[in-house]
């Protein structure tokens, strides 16, 4: 994060400026792409300049976890699958087709397309994919997203070993046990899973298991992510990395996409500007082609006809909510939770507080992610119902309302936001909630552990991959990877665990939908809003827009620029 | 004040003649006389006093609360100051509002508090530590001097602003850091990295003074070392320290502004000019005023201190450097 | 003289040891961990514990410090905890940028401050004198980041005279210099030093003009130009020369805010980022490098002073 210590909300803003997002056809006006006037023709030597915010900590696909890092990997590598731009469901990328799934749902076999090549011209083999997975699960890699690989048999055990204490023999045995569960032939790769997991296909579409060249990594050692040895199979290759200043990507001529396309851009430069205001200035100075708008910039944009024309709206990737500690009075009582969830005017929030860049949320999964449920409006603003629910609360819970406080990461902006809530709760529920600001780092610590979880707090969740499992199971089930709200519900657990394993897509969606609605009705948390992205795009940028994962993903072949005036 | 000029034998007549012409003035009165005649210094002093009054009486002058948003349910954000005449002017907020709707005029007034406190408290600490260490080291000499000077060597080796960055960034989140909105931490931080210059200055002064006749005389009549230090050396060595103080104050204010601009200074929502510039920077493309106004305040106050410092230097010792 | 230099050089070792000790303790006393990267998507607790173990930050702090010193003696600065690079590598690629920025700024500051200071002293109490004094005063009273904000919007966005992000290609062979891109950060960084140097030059010129040897030179019938250049300026430069060392160290170590504003890929910006991310090895590495620079600069002042002005006796 940046030294201007970021709070979750401002972190979101930072996030957005970092989130270098890319093309999709959905938000382009139909006319722009259809009319092939000469001015719209792609410049074969076109260069696009975008901002990635902070420098990536690492661009090692098996170590990284931040959006701008993932954006690099997704340009330089191609995974087996890729999320469809239409609905986010995985479609084939490096794989020839959808995977063959064994009847019990625990074995996934992907066949590679013919003639795949790395940017250095060498062929891409299933063994390169396997090596990527080996690095993901290897405890010495210590990657942030290793846990996404735990669904493959043997990964969790090997990854959780203590490399300093365990004997080499034990480590080797665990490694071998894991490797035995990934079987390669000359053009196919099979993964054996710990249990049926339809969402595995979505994991195959993200960056964690992209193929890496062992020879290049061995040659580059600690510095293999420098351009000379950072060799991928994606539409672009990294040609220059000036640390803390910029990265330059050029079209990889050895790449041919599943649809037969190559990248239309010749060059893609990503600069590293950490101050949003400076990035906006750079955009206006034509040093940047794309700029993600912050609420503060809206007035300038509205006052400028050119800028207004250059605005493009796109989906976000996160849901923000008021978390209740479900294990602490008064939020042990579902009536109180429901009352709070229905007690604030989300439309006003979006209009006044976040400048309209976002959408009111009454359920957990945001639009653009499978499982978004527009009909789930249980939590909608309803002061009468809220008061009624509060009236039904148990005496203990009512007593605990007297000294309620909401904890947040201290910043002026957060304070405004919480003051707005304070006002809403006072007006609509008649409850006085005190504000409890804490330092940003402390806040992160507090909300991580169940023992220290505050009574009420602000939090968000952003998508890793396009699947309900990444939302419902990962955040609210009893198997959640990190403490979120202390919500436990047998009924909810049963539904999501059934969904995780369910092979029939319809039944699976239904299980998740039931779980999601249950979550809203139990008011495990009060959902506030889904974020959104508003971009400024220079007129010469075409086919560039945004997807729901926040980071760039495949389909880099679509974006292009026309000749700049 | 002790008189520090003991007329030497040869000059006695001249001094007597002087008495005939005008009233004998001590060096301090003399300095005061010169200072008062320095227009720039007096203007500077005036501005400083004004800013001080503004800081003290902030609650009575400011139209709103510095931290709360007037009309929080429906805030007026980014209103322009009245002189711009745009459609975003809101007569309720003369200097406009910031990006979350707080009154800028109010925050400017309250910011004077922090700036004044940041100017004076750490500098008082610097003065206290620097003067005591410097005088003791200079007077005692020997191993005391060696030890104290080695300590100053260590502190001198710290890249000071970077050290402050570490202190502020790391301790802000702890209980020590949060105490008093982060102000005491900043006081101590600024003092720790800056007392060394003062100590060296005083040590040099004392070293040259302690061989002078009036010190020897005091020693002869049996004055204790403490008495010599306090009654004889201190008043004579203090002039350059006062000048140094007048330059240390604006530099401490600048440090605060820089840290606050980077977001690791005073803990929000306490307003300071640096914090306001930080906030205003975000909306700079919309309106330059949220940056311009606090920047103007910083510049004016800093300028005033510099003028006063120059005046003091000229008045106390016209030959002093810088 | 030689023994004095040797003694001072040896004294650097305990000095730097204490700097390392204090900084290390402070940096590690901060709450939070380098692995708390993202509030909205925190890493599982087990992962963090594993990372702590891997990087040895689960050890007691004294063990960590001893280990750090041991590595330091072997010139091993360790690896960054959040970046996938070694500290030596980061310093190696980013220090030259900060150094270049600092030296360029020093050069500009001297090029303007010296003539300005000399002229204003020679024309004391005239319009030129007041103008340059005002300039020198304002230069120290407006914070650099404020000047940077206005410069970006005025010269960057409105006038489009200068690009203002990044550092371009640095300067290998001169024609490849991206001078336009370097212009704003360099000039703005130099302003503070420029103002300070102008004041020093003016003051020491005024001091030199009043000296007896100048009167002697004049009474010998030397031409005024010879007196000014050969006697006044020459002697007035002594105090100026001695502060060039610390001024350089100050410019190099103090450029972080300029680097921050203009996205200059220097070590200062990296340092600011590393503090907030609790990247202990990087904090320590940069800090120790800068402390060493400052110690050396302070040492050179004393030595140079003794060398230029033989009246000063070295050794305390």
Sequential DSSP letters for A19-84 = ------STTS-HHHHH---GGGSPPTT-EEEEE-SSPPS---TTT--SHHHHHHHHHH---SEEE-
Interface test with B, best of A416, A423, A426, A427 (most B CBs within 10 A): A416
Contact criterion met (CB < 8 Å) for C143 and B154? no
Q: Which residues of A320-340 are buried (b: 16+ CB within 10 A; e: fewer)?
A: bbbbbbbeebbbbbbbbbbbb
Q: How many domains does chain C have?
A: 2
Q: Is the peptide bond before A19 cis (omega within 30 degrees of 0)?
A: no
Distance (Å, whole) CA C306 – CA C296: 15
By CA distance, what is B309's nearest residue in C?
Answer: C137
pLDDT above 90 covers what percent of chain B?
16
- Dihedral of CA B225/B226/B230/B234: which sign? positive
Tell me which chain C residue has its CA closest to the CA of residue A139. C50
Query: How far B292 CA sits from the closest chain A CA (Å)?
Result: 15
Predicted-assembly ipTM surpassing the 0.90 threshold = no
Residues of A in contact with C43 (CB under 8 A): 65, 144, 482
Question: Measured between alpha carbons, how far is B278 from B269 in angstroms, rounded to an integer?
Answer: 12
CATH topology for B39-320 is: MetI-like fold (1.10.3720)
Mean pLDDT of B47-64: 91
Q: Tell me the nearest-neighbour CA distance from A103 into chain C, angstroms.
A: 32
Residue of B nearest to A437 (CA): B268
Contact criterion met (CB below 8 Å) for C167 and C178? yes
With beta carbons under 8 A apart, name residues in chain B contacting A410: 267-268
The pLDDT value recorded for residue A44 is 85
Neighbours of C161 (CB within 10 A): 13
Q: Which of C47, C73, C99 is the last residue before a domain boundary?
A: C73
Cβ separation A409–C38 shorter than 8 A: no
Asked if A459 and C39 come within 8 Å (Cβ–Cβ), the reply is yes
Q: SS3 breakdown of chain C: % helix, strand, coil, rounded to 5?
A: 75, 0, 25
Q: Contact C141/B154, CB-based, under 8 Å?
A: no
Least confidently predicted of A81-90, A553-562, B286-295, C89-98: A553-562
Would an 8 Å CB–CB cutoff place C153 in contact with chain A?
yes
The better pLDDT of the pair B131, B24 is held by: B131
Closest CA to A319 of A94, A526, A540, A29: A526
The angle subtended at Cα C43 by Cα C39 and Cα C44, nearest 5°, is 125
C-alpha to C-alpha distance for A553 and C284, rounded to whole angstroms = 37
Condensed to tens digits (0 to 9), the pLDDT of residues C122-145 reads: 888 888 888 888 888 887 788 888
CB contact under 8 A, A277 and B279: no
Is C304 in the same domain as C168? yes
Same domain, C105 and C237: yes
Distance in Å, alpha carbon of B131 to nearest chain C alpha carbon: 20
C-alpha distances (whole Å) from C233 to each of B270, C136, C203, C204, C312 are: 50, 20, 12, 9, 20
Contacts of A309 (CB under 8 A, 6+ apart): A539
Tens-digit pLDDT string for chain A (565 aa): 233 332 333 333 333 333 323 222 233 333 333 344 455 788 888 899 998 888 888 899 998 877 778 888 889 999 999 888 777 788 999 999 999 999 999 999 999 999 999 999 999 999 999 999 999 999 888 887 888 899 999 999 999 888 878 899 999 999 999 999 999 999 999 999 999 999 999 999 988 999 999 999 999 988 899 999 999 999 999 999 988 888 999 999 999 988 888 888 999 999 988 888 889 988 988 889 999 888 778 888 988 899 999 998 887 888 999 999 998 889 999 999 999 999 999 998 998 888 888 999 999 999 888 899 999 999 999 999 999 999 999 998 998 898 898 998 877 677 778 888 988 898 899 998 988 877 676 777 778 777 788 999 988 888 878 889 989 988 898 877 655 678 888 999 999 999 998 989 899 999 999 999 999 999 999 999 998 888 899 999 888 866 666 555 446 777 888 877 6
Task: Please report which confidence band the pLDDT of residue C242 belongs to, taking 50, 70 and 90 as the band edges.
Answer: confident
Element (H, E) at A457: strand A456-462
Residue from A298, A412, A420 whose CB has the most chain B CBs within 10 Å, to mutate: A412
CATH number of the A318-531 domain = 3.10.105.10
User: What pLDDT sits at residue C159?
Assistant: 86
**How close, in Å, is residue A404 to chain C by CA atoms?**
23
CA B80 – CA A275 distance, rounded (Å): 23
Per the structure, the complete domain to which residue C289 belongs is given by 88-308
Q: Work out how many CB contacts closer than 8 A connect A with B.
A: 65
A281/C157 CB distance under 8 A: yes
Question: CA of A272 to nearest chain C CA: how many angstroms apart?
Answer: 7
Chains near C, with 3+ CB pairs < 8 A? A, B
Taking the domains of chain A in order of start, what are their residue ranges? 318-531
CATH number at residue C158: 1.10.3720.10
List the single range of A70-74, A420-424, B249-253, C44-48 with lowest mean pLDDT. C44-48
Chain C residue at shortest CA distance from A145: C43
The winner for highest mean pLDDT among A402-411, B16-25, C31-40 is: A402-411
DSSP A298-345: HHHHHT-HHHHHTEEEEEEEEEEEEEE-TTSTTTTSHHHHHHHHTSS-
A410 touches chain B (CB under 8 A): yes
pLDDT in tens, C22-34: 888 888 877 667 7
Interchain CB distance below 8 Å, C167 and A271: no
Are C35 and C183 found together in one domain?
no
CA–CA separation, B2 and A563 (whole Å): 81
Residues C130 and C23 in one domain: no
Q: What is the pLDDT of residues B102-122, one digit of tens each?
A: 899 999 999 998 888 888 899
CA nearest neighbour of A443 among A457, A462, A433, A455: A457
- Same structural domain, C124 and C24: no
For residues A503, A507, A508, A513, the Cα torsion angle rounded to the nearest 10 degrees is: 180
Which pTM value belongs to this model? 0.81
Residue B2 — very low, low, confident or very high, per pLDDT cuts 50/70/90?
very low
C14 found inside a domain: yes
pLDDT score of B8 more than 60: no
Of B101, B263, B282, the CB nearest to A296: B282
Contact C19 B302 (CB under 8 A): no
* Span B37-52, average pLDDT: 91
Domain spans in chain B, listed from the N-terminal domain onward: 39-320
Output the DSSP codes for C35-65: T---SSSPPPHHHHHHHHHHTTTTS-HHHHH
Shortest distance, CA B76 to any CA of chain A (angstroms): 10
User: What pLDDT, on a 0 to 100 scale, did the predictor assign at position A22?
Assistant: 28
Nearest to C197 by CA among C275, C271, C105, C79: C105
Task: Kindly report, residue by residue over C138-177, the tens digit of the pLDDT.
Answer: 877 888 888 998 898 888 888 888 888 888 765 544 455 6
Choose one of C73, C107, C136: the last residue of a domain.
C73
Instruction: Report the pLDDT value the prediction gives residue B22, as an integer from 0 to 100.
Output: 52
| Chain A neighbors of B268, CB-CB under 8 A | 410-412, 415
* Predicted local confidence at residue B24, as pLDDT: 56
Q: What is the dihedral of CA C284, C290, C291, C297, to 10 degrees?
A: 170
What is residue C177's predicted lDDT score, i.e. its pLDDT?
Answer: 60
**Do C39 and C153 fall into the same domain?**
no
Gap from B157 CA to chain A (nearest CA, Å): 24
Mean pLDDT computed over C247-270:
89
Cα angle for residues C102, C103, C105 (degrees, 5° grid): 65
- Chain C (261-290) residues lying within 8 Å, Cβ to Cβ, of chain A: 261-266, 269-270, 272-273, 275-278
Q: For chains B and C, what is the number of CB pairs under 8 angstroms? A: 128
- B299–C138 C-beta distance less than 8 A: yes
Are residues B165 and C295, on separate chains, in Cβ contact within 8 Å? no
Hey, is A438 helix, strand or coil? strand
Residue A101, H or E segment:
strand A100-101
> Is B282 in Cβ contact with A294 (below 8 Å)?
yes
- Region C236-262 average pLDDT: 86
C95 close to A (CB below 8 A):
no
Residue C82 domain-assigned (yes or no): no
Q: What is the pLDDT of residue C37?
A: 59
Residue of chain A with shortest Cα separation from B170: A441
């Amino acid at each position: 994060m940046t030294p201007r210590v970021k709070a979750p909300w401002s972190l979101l803003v930072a996030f957005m400026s970092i989130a270098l997002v890319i093309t999709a056809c959905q938000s382009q006006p139909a006319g722009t792409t259809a009319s092939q006037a000469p001015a719209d023709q792609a410049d074969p030597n076109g260069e696009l300049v975008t901002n990635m915010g902070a420098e990536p900590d690492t661009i090692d696909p098996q170590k990284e976890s931040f959006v701008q890092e993932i954006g690099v990997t997704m340009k330089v590598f191609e995974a087996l699958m890729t999320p469809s731009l239409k609905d986010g469901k995985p479609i084939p990328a490096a794989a020839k087709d959808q995977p063959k799934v064994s009847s019990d749902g625990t074995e996934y076999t992907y066949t590679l397309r013919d003639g795949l090549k790395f940017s250095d011209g060498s062929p891409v083999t299933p063994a390169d994919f396997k090596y990527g997975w080996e690095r993901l699960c290897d405890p010495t890699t210590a990657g942030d997203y290793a846990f996404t690989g735990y669904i493959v048999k043997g990964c969790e055990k090997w990854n959780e070993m203590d490399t300093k204490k365990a004997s080499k023999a034990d480590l080797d045995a665990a490694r071998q046990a894991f490797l035995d569960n990934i079987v390669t032939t000359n053009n196919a790769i099979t993964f054996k899973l710990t249990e049926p997991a339809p969402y595995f296909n979505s994991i195959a579409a993200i960056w964690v298991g992209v193929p890496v060249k062992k020879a290049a990594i061995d040659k580059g050692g600690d510095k293999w992510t420098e351009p000379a040895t950072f060799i991928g199979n994606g539409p672009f290759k990294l040609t220059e990395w000036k640390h803390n200043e910029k990265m330059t990507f050029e079209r990889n001529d050895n790449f041919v996409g599943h649809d037969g396309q190559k990248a239309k851009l010749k060059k893609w430069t990503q600069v590293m500007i950490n101050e949003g205001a400076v990035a906006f200035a750079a955009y206006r100075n034509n040093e940047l082609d794309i700029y993600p708008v912050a609420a503060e910039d809206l007035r300038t944009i509205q006052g400028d006809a050119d800028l207004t024309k250059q605005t493009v709206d796109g989906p976000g990737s996160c849901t923000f909510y008021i978390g209740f500690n479900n294990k602490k009075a008064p939020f042990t009582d579902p009536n109180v939770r429901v009352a709070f969830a229905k007690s604030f005017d989300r439309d006003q929030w979006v209009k006044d507080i976040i400048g309209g860049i976002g959408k009111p949320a009454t359920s957990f999964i945001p639009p653009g992610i499978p499982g978004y449920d527009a009909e789930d409006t249980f939590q909608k603003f309803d002061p009468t119902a809220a008061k009624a629910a509060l009236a039904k609360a148990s005496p203990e819970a009512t007593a605990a309302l007297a000294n309620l406080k909401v904890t947040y990461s201290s910043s002026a902006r957060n304070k405004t936001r919480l003051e707005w809530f304070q006002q809403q709760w006072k007006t609509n529920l008649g409850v006085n909630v005190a504000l409890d600001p804490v330092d940003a780092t402390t806040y992160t610590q507090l909300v991580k552990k169940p023992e220290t979880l505050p009574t009420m707090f602000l939090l968000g969740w952003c998508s890793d991959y396009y699947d309900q499992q990444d939302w419902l199971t990962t955040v609210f089930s009893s198997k959640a990877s990190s403490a979120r709200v202390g919500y436990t519900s047998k009924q909810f657990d049963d539904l999501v665990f059934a969904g995780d394993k369910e092979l029939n897509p319809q039944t699976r969606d239904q299980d998740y939908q039931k779980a999601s609605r249950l979550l809203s009705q139990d008011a495990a948390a009060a959902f506030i809003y889904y974020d959104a992205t508003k971009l400024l795009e220079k007129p010469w940028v075409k086919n560039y827009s945004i997807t729901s994962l926040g980071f760039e993903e495949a389909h880099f072949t679509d974006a292009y620029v026309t000749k700049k005036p | 004040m002790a008189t520090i000029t003991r007329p030497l034998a040869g000059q006695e007549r001249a001094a007597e003649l002087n008495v005939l012409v005008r009233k004998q003035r001590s060096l301090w009165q003399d300095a005061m006389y010169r200072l008062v005649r320095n227009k720039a210094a007096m203007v500077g002093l005036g501005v400083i006093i004004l800013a001080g009054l503004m800081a003290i009486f902030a609650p009575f002058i400011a139209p709103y609360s510095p931290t709360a948003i007037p009309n929080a349910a429906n805030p007026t954000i980014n209103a322009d100051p009245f002189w711009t005449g745009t459609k975003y002017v809101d007569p309720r907020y003369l200097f406009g509002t910031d990006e979350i709707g707080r009154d800028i005029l109010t925050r400017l007034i309250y910011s004077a508090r922090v700036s004044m406190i940041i100017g004076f408290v750490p500098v008082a600490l610097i003065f206290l530590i620097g003067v005591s260490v410097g005088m003791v080291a200079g007077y005692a000499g020997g191993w005391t001097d060696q030890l104290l000077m080695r300590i100053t060597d260590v502190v001198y080796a710290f890249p000071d602003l970077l050290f402050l960055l570490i202190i502020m960034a790391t301790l802000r989140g702890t209980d020590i850091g949060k105490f008093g909105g982060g102000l005491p931490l900043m006081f101590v931080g600024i003092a720790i990295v800056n007392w060394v210059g003062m100590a060296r200055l005083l040590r040099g002064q004392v070293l040259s003074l302690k061989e002078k006749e009036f010190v020897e005389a005091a020693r002869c009549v049996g004055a204790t070392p403490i008495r010599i230090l306090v009654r004889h050396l201190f008043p004579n060595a203090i002039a350059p320290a006062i000048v140094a103080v007048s330059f240390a104050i604006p530099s401490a204010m600048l440090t605060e502004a820089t840290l606050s601009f980077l977001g690791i200074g005073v803990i929000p929502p306490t307003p300071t000019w640096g914090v306001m510039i930080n906030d205003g920077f975000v909306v700079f493309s919309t309106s330059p005023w949220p940056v311009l106004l606090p920047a103007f305040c910083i510049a004016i106050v800093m300028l005033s201190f510099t003028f006063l410092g120059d005046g003091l230097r000229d008045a106390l010792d016209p030959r002093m450097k810088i | 003289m030689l023994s004095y230099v040797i003694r001072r050089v040896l004294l650097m070792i305990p000095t730097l040891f204490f700097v390392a000790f204090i900084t290390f303790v402070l940096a590690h006393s901060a709450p939070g961990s380098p692995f708390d990267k993202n509030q909205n998507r925190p890493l599982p607790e087990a992962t963090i514990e594993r990372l702590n173990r891997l990087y040895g930050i689960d050890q007691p702090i004294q063990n960590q410090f001893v280990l750090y010193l041991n590595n330091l003696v072997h010139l091993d600065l360790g690896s960054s905890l959040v970046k996938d690079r070694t500290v030596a590598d980061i310093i190696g690629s980013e220090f030259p940028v900060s150094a270049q920025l600092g030296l360029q700024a020093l050069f500009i500051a001297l090029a303007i401050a010296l003539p300005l200071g000399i002229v204003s002293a020679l024309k004391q109490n005239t319009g030129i004198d007041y103008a340059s004094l005002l300039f020198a005063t304002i230069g120290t009273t407006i914070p650099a980041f404020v000047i940077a904000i206005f410069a970006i919007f005025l010269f960057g966005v409105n006038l489009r005279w200068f690009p203002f992000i990044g550092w371009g290609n640095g300067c290998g062979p001169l024609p490849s210099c991206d001078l336009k891109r370097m212009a704003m950060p360099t000039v703005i960084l130099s302003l503070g030093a420029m103002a300070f140097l102008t004041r020093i030059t003016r003051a020491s010129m005024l001091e030199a003009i009043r000296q007896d040897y100048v009167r002697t030179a004049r009474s010998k019938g030397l031409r005024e130009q010879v007196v000014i250049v050969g006697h006044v300026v020459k002697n007035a430069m002594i105090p100026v020369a001695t502060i060039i060392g610390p001024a350089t160290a100050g410019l190099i170590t103090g450029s972080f805010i300029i680097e921050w504003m203009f996205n200059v890929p220097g070590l200062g910006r990296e340092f600011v980022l590393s503090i907030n991310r609790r990247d202990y090895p990087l904090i320590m590495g940069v800090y120790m490098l800068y402390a060493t620079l400052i110690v050396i600069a302070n040492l050179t002042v004393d030595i140079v002073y003794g060398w230029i002005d033989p009246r000063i006796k070295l050794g305390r």
